[in-house]
Amino acid sequence: MTKGTPRGQAANNHYDGPGVFLPNFCASHTLFLVVLIAQLLAFILALARMPAPEGFWVALAFTSLFVQWVALGTVMVLCLARRALATLPPLRAAGAAWLIVLLVTVLFSLLALWVGAGLGLTTSLPMSEHLSFLGRTLSISAIVSAVALRYLYVQHQWKQNVEAEARSRIQALQARIRPHFLFNSMNTIASLTRSRPEAAEMAVEDLADLFRATLSDRDTLTLGEELELARRYVRIEALRLGERLQVKWQVDEALPMDYPMPGLVLQPLVENAIYHGIEPLTEGGVITIGLSLDDTRLMIKVTNPLAPPRDRRRPGNRIAQDNIRQRLELAYRGEASMDTSEQTDQYQVTLVLPRRNA
């Protein structure tokens, strides 16, 4: 597996396990967000206590001090406990995080009472007042952290859904086979079983290989495998289209056949060339498939004739091209390109892939 394929990335990013919905509390932007939310909470609490005997600003200052201590303490513990939490399933991780918040709250509540006593602020209060302070801080902390955890969990789920959707879309597109190709091939095979059994046999084998590649979840094939698939595809179509299909292969001898590339890139281009270029022409035509090489790049060119406008197939919705472009982008991060050029009677697709250190 090469680096750069979508699967490879997911594997490298080992923090992305199923249970990990907590953000990275060691990151500074998370810390900033927590401080901000803690401050907003302090505001709400101070507002709720109005009219306070000591006045709003003093009340806000004390509340902020306390809430920030609890928040920062929690962030620190969660940051330290991150690796341990990452191994837990989501529900347990949430429970553990919640308990951590409560523990930190109790700790700082006691600390606040102790400091208050030391400064002579809370000595006059009876024991029941101490307990009620503890109870209030714990309840507020329990509710607020539960809401926060729920929010993080839902957000994480949403993100996962979006990602899964994107992945399944790519897979669906990959699995997309023109039904026409399938049924026409079956028809060809049915016909050949009588007249040329050995050709039928070979067609079945080629078709099986093509479908195996299409249905496989391997993202990466070697250039050699890609070429082989395209050759098999052309062989099946040649049985069906006979003389009408002529293919010129221009393959550079020096091609690195073990060069890894996203699978099923060449075959769909050839399929498009036949579908739009050869099938609409009564007399058929020539498709040129060229693969060449320079110091840094690998070039793939597929050229097909174009029928006069009124005989052309309805322009597809470019599913195949968009899919290839998307996969090249995922695999090469902008280092690969795909361009098309159209002249009056000819259409060409050019792929340029970086050679990397293959």
Partner 1 sequence: MKVLVVDDEAPARERLAALLETLNQYTVCGSAANGVQAVRLAEETQPDIVLMDIRMPGMDGLEAARHLSQMDTPPAIIFVTAFEEHAIEAFETHAVGYLLKPVRGERLQSALEAASRPNRAQMGALGGTMGETSRSHICARVRGNLELIPVDQIHYFQADQKYVTVRHEGGEVLIEEPLKALEEEFVDSFLRIHRNALVSKHSFSGMEKNAQGCFEVVLKGSGERLEVSRRHVAEVRRFLKSL
| Smallest distance, partner 1 to C-beta of residue 202, A | 14
Give the shortest CB-29-to-partner 1 separation in angstroms: 51
Omega before 51 within 30 of 0, i.e. cis: yes
Measured from the CB atom, the residue of 55 and 316 that comes closer to partner 1 is 316
Pick the closer one to partner 1 by CB: 195 or 343: 195
Helix and strand numbers, DSSP H then E, in the chain? 11, 7
Q: Which is nearer to partner 1, 141 or 188 (CB)?
A: 188
- Quick one: 18 or 315, whose CB is closer to partner 1? 315
Q: HSE on the CB side for 215, CA within 13 Å? A: 6
Question: Closest distance between partner 1 and the C-beta of residue 286, in Å?
Answer: 16
Rounded-to-integer distance, Cα 24 and Cα 85, Å:
11
Give the C-alpha separation, 298 to 91, whole Å. 49
Backbone angles phi, psi at 217, to 5 degrees: -100, 20
Q: How far is the CB of 210 from partner 1 (least distance, A)?
A: 17
The minimum distance between CB 212 and partner 1, in angstroms, equals 22
- Beta bridge partners, 291, equal 251, 300
Look at residue 79 and give its three-state secondary structure: helix
Distances from the Cα of 262 to the Cα of 59, 112, 240, 326, 340, angstroms: 62, 60, 28, 11, 19
| Nearest residue (CB) to partner 1, 59 versus 307 | 307
**Binding interface with partner 1 (CB under 8 A):** 179-180, 182-184, 186-192, 194-195, 239-242, 279-282, 307-308, 310-311
